[in-house]
Amino acid sequence: MSAPSQQGPRAATRAIHGDDHLNETTDVAPALHVSTTYRYTNIPENLKTAAEYGNLALPEEHIYSRFSIANTTRLEATLTSLLSGPAITYASGLASFHALMTYFNPRRIAISGAYHGVHDNVTLFQRITGLEKCSFDDIETKLGKGDIVHLETPLNPTGEAYEIKVLADRAHKVGALLVVDSTFAPPPLQEPFRWGADVVMHSGTKYIGGHSDMLCGVLVLNPESKFVKNAGRVGDEQPLSAKETAGNLRFERGIIGGVMGNLEGWLGLRSVRTMGLRLERASKNAAELVRFLVELLEGEGEEARQVQKVLRKVTHASLQREEWLKEQMPAGFGPVFSIYTKTENQARRLPSKVKYFHHATSLGGVESLIEWRAMSDEHVDTTLLRISTGIEDVEDLKEDLKQGLLALAAEQKEVVV
């Protein structure tokens, strides 16, 4: 059970009631609003010019759906409460990263292992703004004020974790911001602000959506941090609070147009209520599957010997022994892990041997997925299969994976070393 937050209720309660103040009807379940435009007030004295509004994207008053809409505003209120800082949603995870880079416009970004689409996005900015891409090794020598360190943890696709505090300290020492892509471990699994992250990013398509039926991106700003717009390019601009910066990001989102659709906002609101339950279960399932597979990989019985003809390696944060990890991920190590087969052909064939793991990309849904990752990432080891554990009964998942590995082993004409 989590401790009460400073604001009062605990996370599971905030997931259900974080948007109560925006529920203006007697409906218990949120209504689905589909309008793209909203009537202005009928009282002429209360009409405001655009100049008087200042920021048309203020969510208190809906004007046009590129600025704000009812369900997404409620989703953002819930996420703001749950993720512990002002939260802004976007059309997808990559749209949120793009918005972040547009707003801060850094001269340099230090990024190492990260989702390949984020790297592709960085390439866009290299073309548009001359952004320089460095690795974590270059933080002390190349980064300066207004630059960005981008850490993804746990990492896609291996599911391995990296220490947020170490990167936060290194980034802050040179005046850079630390952005953490926490897609693989939303709360209750991981709270990057506790360890010094300035901005947290999520592909809400994954655990916030949770049912493989919506695209969503989220940026969350650390209420303790200060932010400078266009930080890498200007001199001594006045730093802004998280709340002011969220307003600016919302305004820019209205210009770029990268908003979630009405239906997605509604689906997100419906789904975020159960995120904690889903994550705890899926994460527990993943740790148990990993333990089971490692036991087969290191075991001595006949079944283990057969499995070893196929399985070469398993990676997941639950296998890491560093002390900091228990504090950074106290409630579980995330539902995604990877396995490596002995040959590329085995990796290509294993998905066809299992029945409870759909062969598909993405992750974060209630159903388990397996993906021969070479199909969507050209830089990855071609023997790697990424597994996104769902919330099925773990005993069925164990049996299914084992029989798949054994079926593949039975196909081997000779032992592959």
Ligand X SMILES: Cc1ncc(COP(=O)(O)O)c(C=O)c1O
Q: Give me the residues that bind ligand X (CB under 6 A), please.
A: 92-94, 115, 117-118, 152, 156, 181, 183, 203, 205, 215, 217
Tell me the residue length of the chain.
417
Q: 160 vs 400, which CB is nearer to ligand X?
A: 160
Q: 203 vs 341, which CB is nearer to ligand X?
A: 203
Q: How far is the CB of 211 from ligand X (least distance, A)?
A: 14
The three-state secondary structure class of 219 is strand
Q: What CA–CA distance (Å, rounded) separates 317 from 26?
A: 44
Contact indicator for 185, 316 with CB cutoff of 8 Å: no
Q: How far is the CB of 293 from ligand X (least distance, A)?
A: 22
Q: 181 vs 191, which CB is nearer to ligand X?
A: 181
Q: Concatenate the DSSP letters of all residues of 150-203 into one string.
A: EEESSPTTT-----HHHHHHHHHHTTPEEEEE-TT--TTS--GGGGT-SEEEEE
Phi, psi at 19, each rounded to 5°? -115, 15
H helix intervals, 60-153: 70-82, 93-104, 116-129, 139-142
Q: How far is the CB of 63 from ligand X (least distance, A)?
A: 27
The three-state secondary structure class of 148 is strand
Q: How far is the CB of 115 from ligand X (least distance, A)?
A: 4
Q: How far is the CB of 386 from ligand X (least distance, A)?
A: 10
Q: 136 vs 292, which CB is nearer to ligand X?
A: 136
Q: Which residue has the tokens 């390019």?
A: 233
Consecutive H or E run containing 249: helix 242-256
Q: 92 vs 262, which CB is nearer to ligand X?
A: 92
Q: How far is the CB of 160 from ligand X (least distance, A)?
A: 13
Report which residue's Cβ sits closest to ligand X: 93
Q: How far is the CB of 412 from ligand X (least distance, A)?
A: 32
The three-state secondary structure class of 389 is coil
Q: What CA–CA distance (Å, rounded) separates 243 from 392?
A: 39
Q: 156 vs 245, which CB is nearer to ligand X?
A: 156
Q: How far is the CB of 347 from ligand X (least distance, A)?
A: 19
Q: 267 vs 409, which CB is nearer to ligand X?
A: 267
Q: 97 vs 103, which CB is nearer to ligand X?
A: 97
Q: What CA–CA distance (Å, rounded) separates 272 from 363?
A: 16
How far is CA 260 from each of CA 178, 195, 216, 257, 392, rounded to the nearest angstrom? 25, 29, 7, 9, 29
